[in-house]
């Protein structure tokens, strides 16, 4: 059961198909009870030429995969990428790779795309792809070295996390801060509200 000031009671369990501590933290801040069951999918075959379609597809696949283990539950999948045109920047392979990514992002604007998608009983329902523009200030080599040495960038797309010490690299942000952290707040609330409204409408017709 869900009790939040921002969405009506969903009347079904909500499952987050992600191991990201940032995403579960954001849902918890919104007062949305949920359980966590990360999805395990192959992300290697995605087309990187359309970042919006890519994150939407990955979020849908994650939600659908996890939902097969939770009959009757509503599952929320999410995926975040860093896009420095024309390249998608994934997680770094090692510290040197992280330094290379950050040097490429230095002084430039990039787009962080986060896709969210709902699924139930193995079937995708509805989703959204949300962009946020981030500009890094010009970074000195020693700053990049110091940040990478913290270990913070090694498990994050684009080799940084805005909700931690990586915030010190950001010069400006246009869009949702929490979307860059992994879960767009307004879009997530709207998605859950829309699902509830459709369920309520269907129940009244029945």
Residues 15-41: pLDDT tens digits? 999 999 999 999 999 999 999 999 999
Widest CA span of the chain, in angstroms?
65
pLDDT band for position 192 (cuts 50, 70, 90): very high
How confident is the model at residue 204, as a pLDDT?
A: 60
Residue in 11, 37, 79, 194 annotated catalytic? 79
Distance CA 68, CA 22 (A): 24
SS3 11: coil
Rounded mean pLDDT, 1-6: 71
Residue 155 annotated to the active site: no
Question: Residue 205: its pLDDT value, please?
Answer: 60
What's the topology of domain 14-205? Maf protein (3.90.950)
pLDDT at 1: 44
Rounded CA gap, 17 and 14, in Å? 10
pLDDT reported for residue 133: 98
> Which has the closest alpha carbon to 5: 28, 23, 31?
31
Q: What angle do CA 40, 42, 45 make, to 5 degrees?
A: 160
What per-residue confidence (pLDDT) applies to 160?
95
Measured distance CA(19)–CA(153) in Å, rounded = 16
Q: What is the DSSP string of 32-57?
A: ---EE-------TT--TT-HHHHHHH
Other CB atoms within a 10 A radius of the CB of residue 67 amount to 27
Lowest mean pLDDT among 7-11, 23-27, 76-80: 7-11
Mean of the pLDDT values across residues 121-149? Answer: 97
């Amino acid at each position: 059961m869900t009790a939040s000031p921002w969405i009506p009671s969903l009347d079904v369990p909500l499952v987050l198909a992600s191991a990201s501590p940032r995403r579960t933290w954001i849902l918890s801040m919104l007062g949305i009870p949920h359980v966590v069951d990360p999805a395990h999918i192959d992300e290697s075959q995605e087309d990187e030429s359309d970042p919006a379609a890519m994150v939407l597809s990955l979020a849908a696949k994650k939600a659908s995969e996890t939902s097969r283990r939770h009959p009757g539950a509503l599952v929320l999948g999410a995926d975040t990428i860093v896009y420095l045109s024309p390249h998608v920047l994934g997680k770094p392979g090692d510290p040197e790779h992280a330094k290379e990514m950050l040097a490429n992002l230095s002084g430039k604007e990039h787009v962080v795309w986060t896709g969210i998608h709902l699924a139930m009983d193995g079937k995708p329902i509805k989703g959204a792809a949300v962009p946020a523009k981030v500009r890094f200030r010009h970074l000195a080599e020693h700053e990049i070295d110091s940040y990478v040495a913290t270990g913070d960038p090694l498990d994050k797309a684009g080799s940084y996390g805005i909700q931690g010490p990586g915030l010190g690299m950001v010069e400006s942000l246009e869009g949702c801060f929490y979307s860059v952290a992994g879960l767009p707040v307004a879009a997530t609330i709207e998605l859950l509200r829309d699902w509830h409204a459709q369920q309520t409408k269907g129940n009244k017709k029945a």
